[in-house]
Amino acid sequence: MKKIINKPENFVEEFMEGILAAYGDRVKTLDPEKKILVRSEKPAAGKVGIVTAGGSGHLPVFLGYVGAGMLDGCAVGEVFASPSAKKMEDMIRYVDQGNGVLCLYGNYGGDVMNFEMACENLDFDGIRTEQVLVKDDVASRPKEEADMRRGVAGMVYAFKVAGAAADEMLSLDEVAQTAREALENIRTMGFALTPCIVPMAGKATFSIGENDLELGMGIHGEPGIEVCEMKPADEIADIVLDKLLDDMPVASGEEVSVMINGLGATPLEELFILYRRVHERLKEKGISVYMPHVGEFATSMEMAGASITVFRLNDKMKKYLRKAADTPFYTNHNK
C-alpha cells in the first residue's frame, strides 16, 4: 500500500484536522472527535436546516458541501462507515433554528438506520425533521426497484438545490419537496477501472482485471452490472448515457445539467473527453446543457473511473442551481 498517510487508524481524524486548519474561517466541528462539521456561523434565524452524513473516503462528498448556499452540517463516519446516531442527533439539535431540519443523504443501510434513530429521539423533544434519501444510481438496482437504489454523485445537485431553496426561507415541507422533485430528475451511473484501498485494510478489498472495466460499480466497490474489456471513452460515455436516458427520458428541447465526476485517480483530461461525447450526443438529441460540472465531486479515494449524472431541469431548478454558493469545495458566484 502506498498512501500518503500516517497511522491508518488516524486517517479520518488527521484529514479532518487538515480541513479545519485550511477552512477554519468557514467551518468548525462541534465535538472533540471532530465528527460533526457545521458552518462557523449558525444558520439564519428561521431558516430550515439541511444536514447530511456518511462514511469517509469520498471527498468532497459529504462534508465538503457544508457552507453558504448548501449544507448546514455533516456527520462524518470512519472510511466507508456510517457515523453514529448520536452524532447525527447532536448535529441536528445544533443546526435547528426552530423551523426544522432536512436530512438529505444517500440510501445506505447504516446511514438510514442511524438517521431514523436520531430523528425519533429529536421528535420526542419537538424538533421537526424530514428525511429525503438520495437514490440516483441507476446501476445499483433495476427500474422496478428504484426505491432501493444507492445514492452517489447526484446528491451534490440535491444539496445545491435544497440549499438554495432553504435560503429563500421556504418551510421544511417545501424544502424537502424541492429536494424530492430534484431527485426525481437526477440519474447517475459510474464505472471503475481500478479498486481503492481502505487505509485500515491496507490493500484493495476487491479487484478489477488488468484490462477490465466494471460498469456500474458503486463508490465502495459494490459490484456493477457488467464487467467487460476496457472500451474507448466514447463507447463508455454512450453506454452510460443511454442507460441514464432509458431510465429517465429527456425530450428534445429540454435542458439538463451534466456532471462528469472523477472517482479519484482519473486525470481531468479524461473527464473532458467524456464530457465532449456526452455534450455532443445530447446536442444531437436536441437537449442543451446548462451549467456542466466536470471534476471531482464524489470520489472513492484512489479509484480510477468516473460517473455521469444527468439532472433534468425546469425553470425552478435552474434558478436554484444557479444561485450563489460558497463552501470549501464548491464555489459558484453567479448573480
Determine the residue type at 247.
D
Residue 131, beta-bridge partner list: 103
Q: Look up 279 and say whether it is catalytic.
A: no
User: Closest separation between CB of residue 94 and a second copy, Å?
Assistant: 23
Neighbours of 201 (CB within 10 A): 12
Given CA atoms 71, 77, 78, 82 in this order, what sign does their dihedral have? negative
User: Closest separation between CB of residue 95 and a second copy, Å?
Assistant: 24
> What is the contact surface with a second copy in residues (CB under 8 A)?
2-7, 11, 14-19, 21-22, 56-57, 59-60, 193-194, 210-211, 213, 230, 232-234, 236, 264-276, 279-280, 289, 292, 294, 296, 299, 301-302, 304, 306, 326, 331-333
User: Closest separation between CB of residue 211 and a second copy, Å?
Assistant: 7
User: Closest separation between CB of residue 176 and a second copy, Å?
Assistant: 29
User: Closest separation between CB of residue 228 and a second copy, Å?
Assistant: 12
Q: Of 220, 279, 293, 333, which residue is the catalytic one?
A: 220
Cell of 244: 441514464
Rounded Cα distance, 175 and 69, in Å = 13
Comparing CB distances to a second copy, the nearer of 15 and 174 is: 15
Comparing CB distances to a second copy, the nearer of 121 and 272 is: 272
**Most distant CA pair in the chain: distance in Å?**
56
User: Closest separation between CB of residue 20 and a second copy, Å?
Assistant: 9
Given CA atoms 114, 116, 119, 120 in this order, what sign does their dihedral have? negative
HSE of 247, CA atoms in CB hemisphere, 13 A: 28
Q: Look up 220 and say whether it is catalytic.
A: yes
Contacts of 140 (CB under 8 A, 6+ apart): 148, 149, 150, 216, 218, 222
Given CA atoms 125, 83, 225, 223 in this order, what sign does their dihedral have? negative
Comparing CB distances to a second copy, the nearer of 180 and 290 is: 290
Comparing CB distances to a second copy, the nearer of 53 and 196 is: 196
Residue 227, beta-bridge partner list: 214
Q: How many residues are recorded in the chain?
A: 335
Determine the residue type at 294.
V
Rounded Cα distance, 291 and 331, in Å = 13
Comparing CB distances to a second copy, the nearer of 172 and 271 is: 271
Asked whether the beta carbons of 72 and 92 are under 8 A apart, the reply is no
In sequence order, which ranges of the chain are alpha helices (DSSP H)?
11-23, 85-95, 109-124, 155-167, 172-184, 233-247, 268-284, 315-322
Comparing CB distances to a second copy, the nearer of 3 and 143 is: 3
Residue with cell 451511473: 189
Annotated catalytic residues are 58, 220
